[in-house]
Amino acid sequence: MAEWQTILVNEEYVSDNVYILELNRPEAMNSLNTLMGIELIECLKSLQKKPDLRVLVLTASGEKSFCAGADLKERKGMTNEQWKEQHDIFEDAYEQLRNFPFPVIAAVNGFALGGGMEMLLSCDLRYAADHAKMGLPEVTLGIIPGVGGTQLLPRAIPVGLAKEFLFRGNKIPAEKALSAGILNGVFSKEELLLGVLEVAKEIAKNAPLSLKSIKKSINTGLETDLNTALTIELDQYYKCANSEDRQEGVLAFNEKRKPQWQGK
């Protein structure tokens, strides 16, 4: 892997087919600057080519902040054109995250505000430390979320509740985010990464083609009508049903052993 300035890639759990991508600007509350946006694009493109990756865990350095959103110090004094150029980079980075072919799990270790919350909403599963707080405060800065917040949040929780969080722009404690349906679970800060890794390793044991097809079926199907969505599902079903891994799965079941997935 390349040497990154604003992110880290932890390959300690590669034997379990799990990679950890870590935002690494703790001195700036892991806020998103232009370089981080560029490096996220490059890194996510590189990671999806890894033949041994089945699950990606996204977290951040330190215990205070997951991501405090865009780096407003960097944005101070930007012209409208410079702001747009930077935002184009951010849009690409978040699109790479949303469209990552395998499951992405967020481990939110602190504040997730603005673009930080949009980042966790772009992940497939979301867990947080019990001290974490999240929110979309853009309305208090004279803007609105611009990398998915107004679209992803209402798809994750009831629309009225999403509108309240967006209109008020306040910080949401982890337990409230859990009860609202934003999070899948809450851990103590000491147990967060270990807890998320247990989930990640359990998922990573499953057939890689199935994981990719489930994600594509859900994400694509949610954007269309039911009949079209069922057609999308059936197309993905036969991609798996006609694969070598399907034959291996049935054989392993009958031979009472663990399947050896090949991803084909």
The residues annotated as belonging to the active site are 118, 138
Question: Which of 74, 66, 71, 196 lies closest to 131 in space, CA to CA?
Answer: 66
Structure tokens at 243: 């694969």
CA 247, chain centre distance (Å):
31
Does residue 177 contact residue 170 with C-beta atoms inside 8 Å? no
Query: Distances in Å between the alpha carbon of 116 and those of 94, 103, 119, 135?
Result: 11, 18, 5, 8
Question: Which of 132, 135, 127 lies closest to 185 in space, CA to CA?
Answer: 127
Structure tokens at 154: 């209402």
By the 10 Å C-beta count (0-12 exposed, 13-18 middle, 19+ buried), 180 is classed as: middle
